Amino acid sequence: MSPIARLGLLVGLLSGVVVVLGTAAPAVAHDATTTAYAEVSGAGPDVRVVLDLEYDLLMKSAWLYAEAYEATDPAEQRRRLEAHADAVAAYTLERFQVAYDGSRCAGELAGVPGLTQRGDRAFAVVSLEYRCPGGQGTHELFSALFPDDENFVHSTRTIVHYELDGAEGAAVLAAADPTHAVSDGDPGSTVAVAEGSTWRNLGGFVVLGGEHLLLGPDHLLFLLALLIGARGRRDVVLTATTFTIAHSVTFLLAAIGLVNAPSGIVEPLIALSIVSVATIHLLRRRADSATTRWRLPVVFAFGLLHGLGFAGALGIDERWSWQLLASLLAFNVGLELAQIALVVLLYPIVTLLRRSVAGDQVLVAAAALVAAVALVWFVERLPFGADLAALVLPVGP
């Protein structure tokens, strides 16, 4: 390889690492996108909706003062939600709409908004009741929560789980396709979507799965650490397969409620998994036999943890149905497609770099940097860890 080509590869890899790390730091910087969650239920025309929305985004989108959206203490956040309940209701009722038989339903806030935790983020819990005109019809659900033109985030998707009109199922609503028509069904059936829209909804879950992996800095760094430590195509295939099997198992079990682990435990351990895999690569260079023997079992164990993290992204809390299984499988397909694309893109670069002395040094430095960043995440995700990390690594002016 010529010196110019080698320099180009080194610059490219370093630029990629900087981009990944620069968009990371989940505890101190907001993700570029967000997911809203809606639980919709009703035995007749009237509908009840429970929305889970990121607290700080909701308060910004309702155009409240900084004292509201910058609050971090849960007790203070609850006080702000109660004090600004009218503004929260006005925003959510305009952005999440329900129609019945072609006519828009009148909505109102049902009680004081609450607070819950999803991963390392506070979510407001907003309960809404919609009074729909009588008659024989079906419901349509519409979401325009946190649109791009608010300039806070982009590409917001709303994951909807519903039991309406004798049907139950799930759908993903996005700016390109913000409306979902619920199908007719016999009481107790598991018909999930209107005729002709099944593939569109499953496609939404495929896209959501791919986005979750590509926009999740911890999952990206974990894959990068795996690729840096892989030696040869066989090693890449074994490592990727091990990780895929592990996270698929726990993802499906957790999403249907058979396995449950608190995010306060899962999230720090996911960060620790990145530290461990990157460190194994550094040790493997000096002690091949010992670290090689344990590498795949470690990848499998940490893959189980990442599966729990993937399941948390869907926020599913409903009983078993074939539609639920289809949605989960579609989401997992999206994860795997994104994972394959990353491996195909990055592995040839890593291979070329490993063949040169300078390139190998860059990979070692990249592994050390990945481990260091993940270690900071681990500390931040521990109880009171964010305050400790802020003392050591202050952020902002």
Catalogue the long-range contacts made by 311-314 (C-beta closer than 8 Å, 24 or more residues apart).
311/250, 311/251, 311/254, 311/255, 312/118, 312/119, 312/254, 312/263, 312/266, 313/35, 313/208, 313/212, 313/216, 314/159, 314/255
With beta carbons less than 8 A apart as the criterion, state whether 288 and 230 touch: no
- Ordered per-residue pLDDT tens for the chain, 397 residues: 444 444 444 444 444 444 444 444 443 334 467 889 999 998 888 999 999 999 999 998 888 777 888 888 899 999 999 999 999 999 999 999 999 988 999 999 999 999 998 866 889 999 999 999 877 778 999 999 999 888 888 888 898 888 887 777 788 888 888 998 886 443 333 333 344 455 666 777 788 788 778 777 888 888 888 888 777 788 888 888 888 888 888 887 876 767 777 777 888 888 888 888 888 777 765 545 555 666 778 888 888 888 887 776 666 555 555 566 777 788 888 888 888 888 888 888 888 877 776 777 788 888 888 888 888 888 887 775 545 444 444 444 4
pLDDT of the residue at 352: 80
Q: Which amino acid is at 267?
A: E
Q: By C-alpha distance, which of 27, 18, 93 is closest to 58?
A: 93
Those residues with Cβ within 8 angstroms of residue 75's Cβ, 6 or more apart along the chain or in another chain: none
Q: What is the 3-state secondary structure (H, E, C) of the chain?
A: CCHHHHHHHHHHHHHHHHHHHHCCCCCCCCCCCCEEEEEEECCCCCEEEEEEEEHHHHHHHCCCCHHHHCCCCHHHHHHHHHHCHHHHHHHHHHHEEEEECCEECEEEECCCCEEEEECCEEEEEEEEEEECCCCCCCEEEEECCCCHHHCCCCCCEEEEEEEECCEEEEEEEECCECEEECCCCCCCCCCCCCCCCHHHHHHHHHHHHHHHHHCCHHHHHHHHHHHHHCCHHHHHHHHHHHHHHHHHHHHHHHHCCCCCCCHHHHHHHHHHHHHHHHHHHHHHCCCHHHHHHHHHHHHHHHHHHHHHHHHHHHCCCCCCCHHHHHHHHHHHHHHHHHHHHHHHHHHHHHHHHHCCHHHHHHHHHHHHHHHHHHHHHHHHHCCCHHHHHHHHCCCCC
Residue 113 has what pLDDT?
94
Residue showing tokens 């239920």? 41
pLDDT of residue 93: 95
Alpha-carbon distances of 312 from 87, 154, 182, 266, 315, rounded to whole Å: 28, 20, 25, 10, 5
